[in-house]
């Protein structure tokens, strides 16, 4: 007759199984985020990023450009002249929000934003960027700048005739923000009861079920 393991051993096993199950859920979300980088139709391709401006939260949509699941980071591209950069320079705390309607999953993240500007990595990204996308960084106005009347914020040439001067100017405005995730709140809507997990990524990173 098999001898039953002591209660504390059973509990340790239960905890290990639970953690493994939760980690599989995180792994799935990271896989979906990875797919979303190149799939413009993926629900996670765009997300919302919140910064703080004098205690007032500011939100905007951005496109997911990179994910590093080992470092728990994600990145987006933006214009160095934009308000979000000024806000991040004053307060590095940001929140990111994704929602996958089809799978009814919301992921909310909190993290620290880091600016990458004129680095080797950025030069490489810029050199591979489509000319049409480069145009977004070549406009004469800083995003958010006041205009007396509508004017397209585009250079006076098209994507096929980018001059080296315009290319240089665009590159100077181009930057990348990487968010170093501190925690992630996963929520799955279900009729039988919504499921919610809190993942934290500090040195004693853990994953726990929380009430929805
Ligand atoms: C679908 C969509 C995708 C966008 N992607 C980006 C992006 O990747 N980077 C970016 O800087 N702005 C993007 N924008 C514009 C921003 O939402 C925002 O209007 C702009 O960056 C100015 O924001 P700020 O004044 O808060 O800095 C996107 C807007 C939409 C609607």
The per-residue pLDDT for 206 is 87
d(CA 96, CA 108): 6
Query: Does 50 or 204 have the greater pLDDT score?
Result: 50
For ligand 1, pick from 53, 61, 81, 97 the residue to mutate: most ligand atoms within 8 Å of CB: 61
User: From ligand 1's centre to the CA of 60, what distance in Å?
Assistant: 6
Give the closest residue (by CA) to ligand 1 atom 7: 62
d(CA 49, CA 76): 10
For ligand 1, pick from 42, 52, 57, 60 the residue to mutate: most ligand atoms within 8 Å of CB: 60
The per-residue pLDDT for 16 is 61
Q: Which residue has the tokens 């496109």?
A: 63
pLDDT at 64 > cutoff 90: yes
Average pLDDT score over residue span 189-199? 95
pLDDT category, 10, cuts 50, 70, 90? Answer: low
User: From ligand 1's centre to the CA of 141, what distance in Å?
Assistant: 15
Lowest mean pLDDT among 9-18, 35-44, 50-59, 180-189: 9-18
pLDDT at 8 > cutoff 90: no
Nearest atom of ligand 1 to the alpha carbon of 58:
26
User: From ligand 1's centre to the CA of 142, what distance in Å?
Assistant: 13
pLDDT category, 1, cuts 50, 70, 90? Answer: low
Q: By percentage, how much of the chain surpasses pLDDT 70?
A: 92
Domains of the chain by start residue, with CATH: 7-138+162-209 (2.30.110.10)
Burial level of 47, CB count in 10 A (0-12/13-18/19+)? buried
Q: What share of the chain is helix, strand, coil (3-state, %, to 5)?
A: 35, 35, 35
Average pLDDT score over residue span 7-17? 65
pLDDT at 15 > cutoff 70: no
Average pLDDT score over residue span 59-87? 97
The per-residue pLDDT for 4 is 74
d(CA 99, CA 199): 17
pLDDT at 117 > cutoff 90: yes
Ligand 1: residues with CB < 6 A are 46, 58, 60-63, 76-79, 82-84, 143-144
pLDDT at 115 > cutoff 80: yes
Nearest atom of ligand 1 to the alpha carbon of 82:
27
For ligand 1, pick from 44, 62, 134 the residue to mutate: most ligand atoms within 8 Å of CB: 62
Smallest Cα–Cα separation from 111: which of 98, 99, 93?
93
User: From ligand 1's centre to the CA of 85, what distance in Å?
Assistant: 12
């Amino acid at each position: 007759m098999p001898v039953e393991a002591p209660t504390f051993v059973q509990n340790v096993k239960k905890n290990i199984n639970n953690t493994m199950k939760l980690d599989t859920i995180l792994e799935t979300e990271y896989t979906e985020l990875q797919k979303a980088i190149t799939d413009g139709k993926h629900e996670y391709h765009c997300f919302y990023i919140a910064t703080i401006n004098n205690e007032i939260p500011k939100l905007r949509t951005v496109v997911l450009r990179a994910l590093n699941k080992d470092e728990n980071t994600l990145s987006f591209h933006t214009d160095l002249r934009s308000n979000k950069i000024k806000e991040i320079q004053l307060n590095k705390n940001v929140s990111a929000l994704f929602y996958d309607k089809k799978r009814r999953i919301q992921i909310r993240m909190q993290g620290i934003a880091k600016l990458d500007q004129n680095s080797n990595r950025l030069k490489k990204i810029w050199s591979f960027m489509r000319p049409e996308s480069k145009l977004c960084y070549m406009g004469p106005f800083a995003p958010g700048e006041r205009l007396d009347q509508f004017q397209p914020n585009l250079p006076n040439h098209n994507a096929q005739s980018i001059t080296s001067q315009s290319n240089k100017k665009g590159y100077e405005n181009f930057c990348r923000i990487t968010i170093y995730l501190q925690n992630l709140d996963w929520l799955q809507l279900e009729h039988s009861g919504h499921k919610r997990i809190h993942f934290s990524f500090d040195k004693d990173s853990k994953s726990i079920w929380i009430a929805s």
